[in-house]
Amino acid sequence: MRFRLLPVLVTGLLLASCGGAAPTTPTDDLLSSSSSSESAIVETHNVSFTGTVRPAGISIYMEGTHRLELGDGRFILLASDTVDLNGYVGEQAEVTGSIRPTVEEGGAIMRVEQIRLLERSSASSTDADPSADPSAASAAVSSSVALSSASSPASVASSTPSSKSASVASASRSSSAASVASVAVDVSAQVTSMAKQNLATANWTQAYCAPPTIGFCVPVHRNWYFKSFGTASEALWHVEVGSLSIENISDGPITVNLFGGALSTKGIADNEVRDDGSTVRGYREWTKDRHIEISAPSALMEAVTYMTQHLSAMEE
């Protein structure tokens, strides 16, 4: 009798051991792995880098308003609540702040707290070797904050500024007449490109905001660059917008100017847009007997109209 029960007992023990724990699924493994590897993103503070400030441009990265292009082809994204980065676009600068990895793998973003312009001569030698700057926080790079390469697919627009710079350098070596022709062709190509953009409201995701003493904000299309030249023109304030990186005055087909004098004295209505067949101009009345004029070639009528109608006062 004892020998007959033995197989039954063995079978019962095997069934009990199998039923004691639920089988592990691949999903359970993934959840467990994800839970154990999840950790808070930590910033590294008081980090400094030197390079050229550019608009963020088109890329896979969803963070940052600008980028700092380093001398070795890499870049870091920039964002700031305290520094007006627009005023440094195209300039060689040293930026200081807190750096962390981007949400997208392979990038780094700095929360800029301070920025300092560099002399052209010293900036070029520093950019050639970023590690020459003793404050350039090598710890930030070694602590898994990888800097993106400007030549990678993640930076679609990065090749455009370099080719633009080459064309400007070439033009400066040519005769004055050839230089003017080169600039005219360049602006014409930008106008053609900009006129083909989808100008739906959802694509106006950027804005240029002037200093508080000027006080206006004007929308900018997500694929375009912009730069303020301040008082470096006949206007009280001068801003340019284009499809390529803007280095010099007249590089951008769209200009935003603050002029003295109220529109009422000129027989022009607020929010009026006029097209004379070659140039389109949008007008906005502004404070202290001043007005704003947004102008561009007539092909950009739709863009100028949108920018004129959606120009607003800066929120305090």
CATH number of the domain residue 85 falls in: 2.40.50
Does residue 174 belong to any structural domain of this protein? no
Q: What are the backbone dihedrals phi and psi of residue 256, each rounded to the nearest 5 degrees, phi first?
A: -120, 115
Question: pLDDT at position 117, please?
Answer: 86
Of the candidates 257, 259, 254, 256, the residue with the CA atom closest to the CA atom of residue 297: 254
Same domain for 59 and 142, yes or no, is: yes
The pTM (predicted TM-score) of the whole model is 0.47
Exposure of 262 in the CB half-sphere (CA atoms within 13 A): 5
Residue in the block written with tokens 């990895």: 101
Same domain for 50 and 147, yes or no, is: yes
Question: pLDDT at position 44, please?
Answer: 86
Question: pLDDT at position 83, please?
Answer: 86
Question: pLDDT at position 118, please?
Answer: 83
Question: pLDDT in tens for each of the 316 residues of the chain?
Answer: 444 544 444 444 444 444 444 443 333 333 333 333 334 567 788 888 999 999 987 777 788 899 999 888 888 999 998 888 988 998 989 999 899 888 887 788 999 998 988 865 443 443 434 333 433 333 333 333 556 555 433 333 333 333 333 333 333 333 334 333 444 446 899 999 999 999 999 999 999 999 988 999 999 999 999 999 998 888 999 999 999 888 889 999 999 999 999 999 999 999 999 999 999 999 999 999 999 999 999 999 999 999 999 999 987 6
112: containing domain: 44-154
Residue-wise pLDDT tens digits, 112-141: 998 988 865 443 443 434 333 433 333 333
Question: pLDDT at position 160, please?
Answer: 35
- In this structure, are residues 53 and 68 in contact, taking their beta carbons and an 8 Å threshold? yes
Q: Which residues contact residue 232 at a Cβ distance below 8 angstroms, ignoring those fewer than 6 apart? A: 238, 249
Does residue 1 belong to any structural domain of this protein? no
Contacts 24+ apart (CB under 8 A), 237-246: 237/210, 239/208, 239/210, 241/208, 242/187, 242/190, 242/194, 243/190, 243/193, 243/194, 244/160, 244/161, 244/164, 244/186, 244/190, 245/54, 245/55, 245/89, 245/90, 245/160, 245/161, 245/164, 246/89, 246/90
- In this structure, are residues 199 and 306 in contact, taking their beta carbons and an 8 Å threshold? yes
Same domain for 208 and 286, yes or no, is: yes
Same domain for 210 and 297, yes or no, is: yes
Question: pLDDT at position 158, please?
Answer: 31
**Cα–Cα distances in Å, from 115 out to 51, 68, 119, 124, 150?**
11, 11, 13, 17, 21
Does residue 23 belong to any structural domain of this protein? no
Residue-wise pLDDT tens digits, 138-156: 333 333 355 655 543 333 3
Same domain for 222 and 138, yes or no, is: no
- In this structure, are residues 51 and 32 in contact, taking their beta carbons and an 8 Å threshold? no
Of the candidates 258, 259, 256, 269, the residue with the CA atom closest to the CA atom of residue 304: 256
Question: pLDDT at position 148, please?
Answer: 58
Question: pLDDT at position 41, please?
Answer: 61
Quote helix, strand, coil % in the chain, to nearest 5.
35, 30, 35
Instruction: Identify the domain boundary among 92, 123, 154.
Output: 154
Token pair, residue 238, equals 């001068």
User: Which H or E element spans position 195?
Assistant: helix 176-195
The proportion of the chain whose per-residue pLDDT surpasses 70, expressed as a percent, equals: 65
